[in-house]
Homo-oligomer: A and B are copies of this chain.
Amino acid sequence: MQFSSILVEQAVSEFAKLPGIGKKTALRLVLHLLKQQEPAAKDLGEAIIKMRNEIKFCQRCHNIADGDICSICANSMRRQDMICVVENIRDVITIESTQQYHGTYHVLGGVISPLDGIGPEQLNIDSLVNRITNEQVQEIVFALSPNIQGDTTIYYIQKKVTQRPLRITTIARGISFGGELEYADEMTLARSIANRQPVENYVSG
């Protein structure tokens, strides 16, 4: 594409580096910003730079934070003796938006995946084990992806923390609420039969 302006060309090429944004979409965004008043572009640009410069990661749970400790770890209304172990920051945001979990988190930064060269030492596992040893943790809830990598990670962490009495759980897997049986994949259906629950535990949405 020919832009007849180097400024526009640079802005388009920077936008197009973002995931899921091609040259045409990038151009649409840039032309939109040109049509707006100047503050709109300034606010966006500054929000991006400021966020990247000033963002910190919580020293306790590795979630995003504006200070040394994230707002979830700092919140005394939440159960500090319960840790939900997740893969990444997006999972924290997703779980938070359900408003059903009132403990703290621990962001691993990935899962153990030897094929991708990711071993336990690349992940925030040592700090999790430290938290479990030093804080009065009652329960760990694993909310990892239900695949071999996730299961390996759960197994590895479980082995590390056997010395303390601790409730270790994972979030429930099975047929989605509102999901029809005939559309469920066989693996999920098979596992959900194997992991069947007493009816008194059944909580319907």
Interface residues of A (CB under 8 A from B): 1-8, 10-11, 14-15, 17-21, 25, 27-34, 38, 40-55, 63-66, 70-72, 88-90, 92-93, 96-97
Contact = CB atoms under 8 A, between A and B. Distances in A.
B64 A27 contact: no
A34 B97 contact: no
Nearest to A55: B7
A49 B55 contact: no
A52 to B, nearest CB: 3
A28 B19 contact: yes
Across chains A and B, which 10 residue pairs bring their CB atoms closest together, nearest first? A41-B52, A45-B49, A45-B48, A2-B96, A45-B45, A11-B51, A14-B47, A7-B51, A5-B64, A14-B44
Nearest to A56: B5
B5 A55 contact: yes
A104 to B, nearest CB: 11
A4 B63 contact: yes
Nearest to A92: B4
Contacts of A38: 52-53
A70 B5 contact: yes
B65 A10 contact: no
Contact of A45 (B7, B46, B71, B88): B46
Contacts of A34: 51-52, 55, 64, 89
A18 to B, nearest CB: 5
Contact of A7 (B40, B43, B66): B66
